[in-house]
Structure 1
Amino acid sequence: MPICNPSSSSSSSSSSSTKSWIIHGLAVGAAAAVAIGAHAYFNYRRSGKFRSRVIGIIPARFASSRFEGKPLVHILGKPMIQRTWERAKMATSLDHVVVATDDDKIAECCRGFGADVVMTSESCRNGTERCNEALQKLGKEYDVVVNIQGDEPLIEPEIIDGIVKSLQ
């Protein structure tokens, strides 16, 4: 398995008292979210009178019982995590996209192609916990958080935008 050797880059507080909800079944957005492995969260205090602040978080881990190192596997010359990040960056509804990981190899790879990285603890049991920890570490308020699975290199930016739109 090749180690990350990124090709050219295509682009370069959530307080503990804020109540957020995970969306699994909201109109068309929910079906798309489940189908593509993305989940969206929204801040309960939001109102429709302002443009929501939206972040996409891509959880990625190296250790896996089925396919260790999957985020760094190259697909047509680029690591899978880079392809996922590039597609997420194409979503016009996202104000910020970060990769959340507990692995130094993934973090180094992602920084190499221009991604913002948030280091999380190894104790996160799943991607949702990793997204939550990353959000807390960022220390910024977002109205919508989209959990974009790191192994979705073909994710359609329009689906991300549709999910976000359904929450606004």
Structure 2
Amino acid sequence: MSAYGETIVDTAEGTFLIRDALADTDADQAAAARAARIPGRRGGRMLGAAGTVIQVRCAHQYSCPQIRIEVLDAATPADEGAWQWAEPLELTVVSGRIGVEGDANFALELNASPGRYVAMVGHQGRREMEEAAVHVETATIQTGGEETYAAWQRLRGTEKYLVRLWPSL
């Protein structure tokens, strides 16, 4: 069963989750957050995974990235030109639904057969988002809320993620 979907997600302080959409994932969310931490540093790794959850940390806390999820029947090469690929992760799907969750809402849900999946996460636009965020922060320091909000909204989709999932053997 192949499925795909694409959306722009409003993040929760610069993070979003790829997770089993119907399972109780609270413990796995906490474990994925711990897996993404770097001891002794304020920041963390871009990705953390635990069981039914993959946590993605964006380039900036106000990032609203474009995300494409592909649930595939078999492995596919990670050779998409401008994409930078992270190391493979594993995601367990219990319920048959995978969701992308940002600020407490699912931005996207897809059907996926229950089981374990290999997850490849590719990204692009992280550096551009970091640079644009510095510009917006500097340019809006003396402006009102509406102008600041509009400036951040213009950056929606600057950062992009491609997530490919296929059954783990």
Where on the TM-score scale, by shorter chain, does this alignment land: which range? under 0.3
Bigger share in helix: 1
TM-score (norm 2): 0.26
Q: Which protein has the larger Cα radius of gyration, Structure 1 or Structure 2?
A: 2
Higher relative contact order (CA 8 A, sep 6+): 1
TM-score (norm 1): 0.26
